[in-house]
Amino acid sequence: PGQRISDFEILRVLGRGAMGAVYEVRRGDARYALKVPQFSDPDSSLRFKREIQALAAVDRHPHIVRIITGSLQPFPYLVMELI
């Protein structure tokens, strides 16, 4: 909490698991979920990249969380709607 990733301020940890952590973040007045994966093998990076692409492909679907932004550099993260 209190740190920043890009223009998002980390507010709190929502959950942690074997595959990484999810944080509640804020940009301006809006709040989002930030997923930071922990890669356990070389294929994990490719799977995360595919996850970002899949979410972007179904943008605006009423039953799938909307992606805000994501990146693999300088480290992998994905920002999405907070639901």
Q: Per-residue pLDDT tens for 11-53?
A: 999 999 878 899 999 999 999 999 998 877 778 888 888 888 8
pLDDT higher than threshold 90 for residue 1: no
| pLDDT of the residue at 56 | 79
What is the DSSP secondary-structure string of 54-73?
A: HHHHTTT-TTSPPEEEEE-S
| pLDDT of the residue at 22 | 95
Cα gap 26→32, rounded to integer Å: 6
| pLDDT of the residue at 21 | 93
- Using alpha carbons, list the distances in angstroms from residue 46 to 4, 29, 77: 25, 33, 13
